[in-house]
Amino acid sequence: MRLANVAIGAYLKNDMITEAESVLNEANKRSKGPFCWAWEMFMVFFLKKHQIDYALKCMEAAVSAAEDNEWHPKSESIDKLLKYFKEDKDVNGAEELCKMLKKVNRLDSKAYHSLLHTYVASGKPEPDMHRRMEADGLEMNLDIENLLEKFFPS
């Protein structure tokens, strides 16, 4: 799979998506994977192209392929997705991302902080937010506590 990853990375770097997909498909036929890192390369490619739906689908494929915490998305990729959802006021996308992060044990206070801001920007209430954060065992800093108190009364 390493050689396939090198080829995929080179193709994506040169915007040769069809060729990169072909390499992934061939590798998929010949190996059981995991293909997490290949999917992440596609995710980064689509993020750079501002094709968020495709980036999320690639992340979902990587999360599904990940076993026993062997893979987690790069923090830069997570940050870009969270920023996009906040700016676009896309609560559903942010929630979907947080679910995926939880599956790979990467749901943290920073992600929740961004999720809270996305809800605030969208004007959509989420009355269960405080309980959710407590259930996930996340540390709440002063900014998160203030957001919860002001916009998410329990």
* Predicted confidence (pLDDT) at residue 154 exceeds the cutoff of 70: no
pLDDT of residue 138: 87
Q: What CA dihedral angle connects 129, 131, 137 and 142, to 10 degrees?
A: 60
Is the four-CA dihedral 13, 105, 99, 147 of positive or negative sign?
A: negative
- Tokens 């997705």 found at: 81
Is-contact 85 44, C-beta < 8 A?
no
CA distances from 144 to 18, 48, 91 (A): 43, 29, 17
* Predicted confidence (pLDDT) at residue 69 exceeds the cutoff of 80: no
pLDDT digits (tens, 9 = 90+) for 97-140: 999 999 999 999 999 999 999 999 999 888 889 899 989 998 88
